Amino acid sequence: MKKTLSLTIIFLLILANLFADFRDDEKPVWGMLNDTAYTLKAGEWNIDLWGPVTYGIFDNFQLGTLFWLWFAQMPNFNGKINIIPETDAMPAFSVGGSYAQFSFTIEKTNEITGNKEKSNVTLKWYQIGGYLTKQLSEKLYLSGAYIYNGVDASASLSTNDSPVLNITGTGNASKALLDLIIETAKNTRVSLEGVANIGNKVEFDAGAGVEWALGDVFRLKLGIYTALRDNLFYIPFIDLHWRFK
């Protein structure tokens, strides 16, 4: 299995060097794992193997959803709008956000009392962030962001349609991040990312990844993420997506 995977990756890398280039207008809409201030162009699609599907409504506005979550009956959407376009002197500035909701109900009859019991649980997750990105040279991009995450949870219990218990709770956290994206070749971009997670205390993450253009539309990204805790642990990742008009 490992040999097959290694041979597949080698084949893809050879293919990338033979047949692929990033398009001239293909700016990095995403860094290693997070957004930049750039958006998809009007009519442009980005379809990710892991579920995200994003579409450029206008040149400065994109909408998307995490496709697989709909199978779990979790409505969700995300969007990003470029408010200040990039100029020679000024970076691009964008605001983006995401929302997802998961609800389920459990109904049963109490075997001892014979009462009908119903439990309802709802989880709502939302995110909003501000993004600044500047192309420092033909092959170098610098991007920074501040992102706020929140979770609202509620649970209720009723017996014979009479309320018995109602619980609500909230949680939030935020993070600041910095991305450096280097186009080392016409078909290769290297991303370096540092993240400060801001909660009850500040914790840091870091990561690095490489993205290859395979043909006109197919993109492959490989990388590793490191959580800088008392005990270090590493999270490898692979991302496959299609970006096209």
pLDDT-derived band of residue 164, with 50, 70 and 90 as boundaries? confident
Residue 6: the pLDDT is: 65
Task: Note whether 82 and 94 are within 8 A (CB).
Answer: yes
* Integer CA distances (angstroms), 51 to 55, 64, 71, in order: 13, 10, 11
User: What are the tens digits of pLDDT across the range 51-83?
Assistant: 899 999 999 999 999 999 998 889 999 999 999
Number of structural domains found in the chain: 1
Please report the pLDDT score of residue 14 as a whole number.
59
Domain that holds residue 146: 2-244
Q: Give pLDDT, residue 33.
A: 85
Domain harbouring 14, CATH code = 2.40.128
